[in-house]
């Protein structure tokens, strides 16, 4: 973790922590490249991050808990991940939210297929389905619904969120944004850096991610353990099965 910032108010949580981290995704990107060479199809990187996130959350379920208006913790057994899926309609690139249900019980391939199907939903010339009416309400109104009916909020917006700033940019960099979820990942850019590996300098690819957590629900130590587990899952790329040529 290269930086932590706390902010009061503004977003969904009343006391948000923002951790600026970078993960080595060299192995993951190589496996995706190998998969594309063998199958002529490119795996969704968003699907990969979503699968790793869901597994880490399943192991540390407190990071997706919510407090209702009575102050009681509300926690889902499944990890429903809200992702931003890019559509192209009439030449216009638009990112809209989509909830991948029970991502912790899904394979990477299953998540990939769902995201691709959602992306292609606008190829018939029709605009993709817009967010629900609740999702389009002003922030304070959404916050009230979240407090009064967290399970309703979860069914609409998922239990955790992934926002991909890197979808529309190139190069490295982090973004910090308020969140109405207890946990949100903001995926930034990817930068190549020289790293000493086994005594030799070699180029490695690092992904910038901002991990935003509600400090009123998750303390610093559990948050750090969750981030470390997420790092292990992403850097090992174990969710991507090696191709037969590997």
> Which of the two residues, 159 and 198, has the higher pLDDT score?
159
Residue 28 pLDDT greater than 70, yes or no: yes
Number of residues in the chain? 246
Residue 202 pLDDT greater than 60, yes or no: yes
CATH match of 3-206+215-236 with 3.40.50.2000: no
Residue 166 pLDDT greater than 90, yes or no: no
Joined together, the tokens standing for residue 112 give 């990939």
Tens digit of pLDDT for each residue in 48-94?
999 999 999 999 999 999 877 777 888 888 999 999 888 776 677 77
> Which of the two residues, 175 and 91, has the higher pLDDT score?
175
Identify which of 6, 17, 16, 9 has the alpha carbon closest to the alpha carbon of residue 140: 9
Tens digit of pLDDT for each residue in 88-146?
766 777 778 899 999 999 999 999 999 999 888 754 444 445 555 555 666 566 666 66
What is the structure's pLDDT at 243?
60
Choice among 41-45, 108-112, 121-125, 196-200 with the minimum mean pLDDT: 121-125
Residue 8 pLDDT greater than 60, yes or no: no
Q: Average pLDDT of the chain?
A: 81
HSE, CB side, 13 Å, CA atoms: give it for residue 4.
13
> Which of the two residues, 21 and 91, has the higher pLDDT score?
21
DSSP designation for 215 = T
pLDDT band for 177, please (50, 70, 90 cuts). confident
Residue 5 pLDDT greater than 60, yes or no: no
**Enclosing H/E stretch for 204:** strand 200-214
Identify which of 207, 223, 210, 219 has the alpha carbon closest to the alpha carbon of residue 179: 210
Q: How far apart are CA 56 and CA 162, in angstroms?
A: 14
Q: How far apart are CA 49 and CA 162, in angstroms?
A: 9
Q: How far apart are CA 168 and CA 147, in angstroms?
A: 32
DSSP string, 48-80: HHHHHHHHHHHHSGGGG-EE-TTS-EE--SS--
> Side by side, which strands form the sheet with 160-164?
3-8, 15-24, 200-214, 183-197, 160-164, 81-89, 92-100
Q: Where are the alpha helices (DSSP H) in the chain?
A: 26-39, 45-59, 108-119, 139-148, 150-157, 220-236
What is the structure's pLDDT at 13?
45
Residue 7 pLDDT greater than 70, yes or no: no
Joined together, the tokens standing for residue 73 give 């913790």
pLDDT band for 151, please (50, 70, 90 cuts). low
């Amino acid at each position: 973790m290269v930086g932590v910032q706390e902010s009061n108010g503004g977003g969904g949580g009343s006391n948000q922590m923002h951790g600026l981290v970078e993960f080595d995704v060299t192995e993951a990107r190589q496996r995706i490249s190998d998969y594309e060479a063998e199958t002529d199809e490119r795996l969704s990187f968003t699907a990969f991050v979503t699968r790793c996130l869901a597994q880490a959350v399943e192991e540390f379920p407190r990071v997706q808990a919510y407090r209702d208006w009575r102050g009681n913790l509300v926690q889902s057994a499944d990890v429903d991940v809200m992702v931003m899926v890019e559509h192209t309609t009439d030449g216009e690139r638009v990112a809209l939210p989509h909830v991948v249900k029970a991502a912790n019980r899904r394979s990477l391939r299953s998540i990939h297929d769902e995201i691709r199907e959602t992306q292609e939903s606008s190829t018939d010339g029709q605009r993709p389905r817009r967010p629900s009416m609740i999702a389009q309400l002003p922030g304070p109104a959404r916050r009230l619904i979240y407090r009064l009916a967290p399970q309703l909020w979860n069914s609409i917006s998922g239990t955790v969120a992934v926002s991909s700033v890197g979808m529309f940019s190139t190069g490295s960099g982090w973004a910090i944004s308020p969140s109405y979820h207890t946990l949100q990942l903001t995926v930034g850019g990817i930068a190549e850096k020289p790293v000493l590996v086994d005594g030799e300098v070699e180029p490695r690819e690092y992904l910038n991610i901002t991990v935003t957590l509600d400090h009123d629900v998750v303390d610093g130590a559990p948050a750090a353990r969750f981030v470390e587990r997420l790092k292990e899952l992403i850097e090992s790329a174990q969710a991507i099965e090696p191709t037969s040529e590997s």
